[in-house]
Each structure stands twice: as structure tokens, then as C-alpha cells.
Chain A
Amino acid sequence: MIDFTASSSAVQSGALVGAVLLEAVVLYVGYGALERVATPIVEKITRA
């Protein structure tokens, strides 16, 4: 017999891990864009 309770908690847990992965990728891309904008400013400051 299939244990639906166990499979639903596995799906929920998988979704949680997926949500963390999605947030990580979104933040990586977002901060990457920010880095491209901020790098010239930081270089200007470090050269000062």
C-alpha cells in the first residue's frame, strides 16, 4: 500500500529545498547585476 502521508511530506520537503534553491539562484543573479553596476564605483574608491 502506498503511504500518502509520507509521500506528501517528501513533496513538501522537496518543495522547501526547491524554494531555497530558487531564492539562492535569484539572489545570485540579482547581486551579479548589482556587482556589474557597483564594480566601477568600488574600483574608483579603492584607487582614491
Chain B
Amino acid sequence: MEPFGIALTTLALFVSFGFMVGVLFGFFGMGGSFLVTPALLVMGYPARVAVGSGMAFVFGTATIATLKHRDLGQVDYKLGGLMIVGTTSGIEVGSRVVYYLEELGLASGAIGVTYVVLLGAVGLFVTRNALVNDDGDDSDDNHHESDEEFDPDAIPPLAKRIQSYRIPPMMTVAGGIQVSLWLILAVAFATGLLSGFLGVGGGFIKMPAMVYLIGVPVPVAVGTDLFEIVFSGGFGAFTYGLNGGVDLSIVAPLLVGSALGARIGSAATSVVDEDDIKIYFGLMLVGGSIAVAFRQAGDYLGMDALNTVSFALILLSAFMVSGAVIYSTIRTMRAEARASAPSAD
């Protein structure tokens, strides 16, 4: 039996893989291009179809996750709009840097090394920061149900310093935080520059940038990042669609799984402790960094086996982190249910 023109086993694989990616995407606001495109390439799809269908999948999943985050009051549209303007300009400059490095014959090596170092560094920074915070704060009251007023003590020191530069016009972002419009645009431009340089969606840069540089609460940073991805993913899918790069028989079953996963992942951000989110995010990036290092080494040495190891590592870290997210959500819900039980008597 071949519904949608693909085998039933492949269909089941797409739905379950989509579910796993959806959980990560809804929870972190990243992971689409990181996971889906390499998976489709490994399955033997041409690069154009793998990238184009990956983009269309990211667009659909980001739409679902954004709708869920909107229901939870975790999308800052004003900040999202400004981030779109800043990142778009940054991507343009970043891609020009790549063309220049290509002329010098340095593009491949420079991009590969920057990608590995950046993934690893951001991952280690986020994990370390969350572990330090976790030691200092044992309360379980560290997650955000909606756009409630944000605890000023929870704002990272770097964000506090950025907020202290009061260059007009000032604007208020999620949690009542006041930041200069120019500083938001500068942060967005810098993340776009890296995104354009590396040729990736850049959720792994934008989410921590919003948290650590602007001071936005983690769930709002995830929701706002996803809101941005709806536009970039939609535009990317349209561009690839012009050249026949979007295959609906791939995108449709992946979306069936990711729609459920994204709902669960998005809802989990308001259940799981904020520092736990950061720890999982950091570990996911460190795993990704090791995997990308293997892929770069495989390309450099011409060893296909290393590319397979790289993909297996990405898949393994994604599977473990999405499992940990679901486990942590259930554990928190059970603890909350137990805590509220005596007062109900």
C-alpha cells in the first residue's frame, strides 16, 4: 500500500520523525533545518528537494508552534517585527561575506570552523549559565504561564548592561523590559549576519541572543523566534518551490507528526523550569557541534562514514533531548498535581 505515493513504512517514519522534530521545534524554536534536511539527504533525496521540502516543513511547523505560543501569550509581535528587519539586513551582509570568502577560496573552511565553534560555545555557555542558576535557585516557580511581569533578578547581567544604554527611541518588550530600538536592531543584525554567513535558520543564535542580550523571558524568546521563522520559512519554501524543490508527499506526513509534537513542545515551555529548558537547549547544541565537526572532518577527508556518524549523532541527541523534554514535562505536572492535592482536601 502506498498512500501519497510513498511506502507505508516510510510514511510512518516521516510521521514519527516529524513528531520528534516538532517537540524540539516547539520547545526551543530551532532544529528544523538542523535535522530534516540532513535526514532527507541521507534518504537519497536530491539536495534541492531536501532543502526546499525542509524549508516548507519548517514553515508549517513554525506556524503551528507560533499559534500555540500565541495562545500562551508568549509571542512579542513588535519585537518579532524588529528582529525580522534586523536579521534580514544581517543575512544579506553575511551572504556577501561568504561570496567574498569564496573568491579567496576560504569559504568552506571558515564557515565549517565558525559553525562548530559557535554551536559548541553557545551550547556550553547556556548549559553552564543554567547550571549555575539552578544551584542558586531551588524553587520550582521558575516557569512562565503567560506574559506576566518578569522578575528583574532573572535578567542576565549582559542584558542588564545593554538595557542601561538608553539611546532613544526606547521601547517596551515582553515582561515590561525597556530597551533601545537601536540595540534591538543591532542584536538582530548581528544574529542575521551569523545566520547568513553560516547559511542556517539561526534559531540557535536568535533564541539565546534574545534571552542573554535583550533580557526576554525564555518562553517568549522561543515564541518570538518561531514567529520570525514563519516568515523566513515561508519565503524560503516559496523560493525553492519556484524550481520544484518542494515535495508535498514528504512535507505532508512530516507535518502530521510535527503538528502534535510542536503543540506538546510549545505547551511544555510553560510547564518545565526555565533553567531546565536552557540545559536541554545547551546539550542539544553541544551534541550538534560534535556532529557537525564529524561532518566537516568527513567532507575534508572524503570519508562518507564520518558523515553517517555525524547524522547518527544528531539523530541520537535529538531523540534523547526530545525524550528528556517530555519526561521533564510529565514529572513537573505530576509534582504540581501532588503539591496541589493536600490543599484540595
Spell out A's residues near B (CB within 8 Å): 9-10, 12-14, 16-17, 19-21, 23-25, 27-28, 30-32, 35, 43, 46-47
Contacts and interface: CB of A to CB of B under 8 A. Distances in A.
Interface stretch (B144-152, B153-161, B247-255): B247-255
Interface residues of B, number: 30
Contacts of A24: 59-61, 63-64, 255, 259
A23 B18 CA distance: 14
A48 to B, nearest CB: 9
Contacts of B238: 13-14, 16-17
Contacts of B251: 20
Given A28-B67, A46-B334, A46-B337, A13 B255 contact: no
A27 B241 contact: no
A16 B246 contact: yes
A27 B252 CA distance: 10
28 contacts: A9-B243, A12-B241, A13-B239, A14-B238, A16-B241, A16-B248, A17-B59, A17-B237, A19-B248, A20-B59, A20-B237, A20-B251, A20-B255, A23-B255, A24-B59, A24-B60, A24-B64, A24-B255, A24-B259, A27-B256, A27-B260, A28-B64, A28-B67, A28-B68, A31-B263, A35-B263, A47-B337, A47-B338
The interface residues of chain A, by DSSP majority, are classed as: helix
Nearest to B247: A16
B194 to A, nearest CB: 26
B246 A13 contact: yes
A16 to B, nearest CB: 5
B175 interface: no
